[in-house]
């Protein structure tokens, strides 16, 4: 499974079975569905997969950061210049 397919699968899974909000899904799928546009940037896409997989709504609610927040996901989207 390539990194783009993995991003699509992880996004769908986390949205359906976890707490990943609906409004972020189209941005993530924009990357997953356009591998040619993001060719050569697979390392950033891989980072995004990790952040989606470990997304937690409560990630910054205690002194020790655990998991990734929406802000973390948005930062990686910004690095790929993916916007609403």
CB 48 within 8 A of CB 8: no
pLDDT tens digits for range 43-58: 999 998 998 988 876 5
Instruction: Specify the pLDDT at position 41.
Output: 93
Instruction: Specify the pLDDT at position 58.
Output: 55
Q: How many Å apart are CA 6 and CA 75, to the nearest integer?
A: 19
Mean pLDDT of 63-77: 75
CB 54 within 8 A of CB 68: yes
Q: Which residues pair with 55 in a beta bridge?
A: 68
Q: How many Å apart are CA 40 and CA 55, to the nearest integer?
A: 25
pLDDT tens digits for range 14-49: 999 988 999 999 999 999 999 999 999 999 999 989
**Cα dihedral sign, 35-66-62-44:** negative
Q: With 70 as the cut, is the pLDDT of residue 66 above it? A: no
């Amino acid at each position: 499974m390539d990194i783009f397919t993995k991003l699509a699968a992880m996004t769908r899974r986390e949205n359906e079975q976890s707490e990943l909000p609906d409004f972020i899904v189209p941005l993530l799928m924009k990357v997953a569905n356009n591998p040619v546009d993001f060719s050569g940037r697979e390392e950033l896409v891989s980072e995004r997969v990790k952040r989606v997989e470990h997304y937690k709504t409560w990630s910054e609610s205690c002194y020790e950061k655990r998991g990734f927040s929406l802000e973390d996901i948005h930062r990686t989207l910004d690095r790929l210049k993916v916007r609403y």
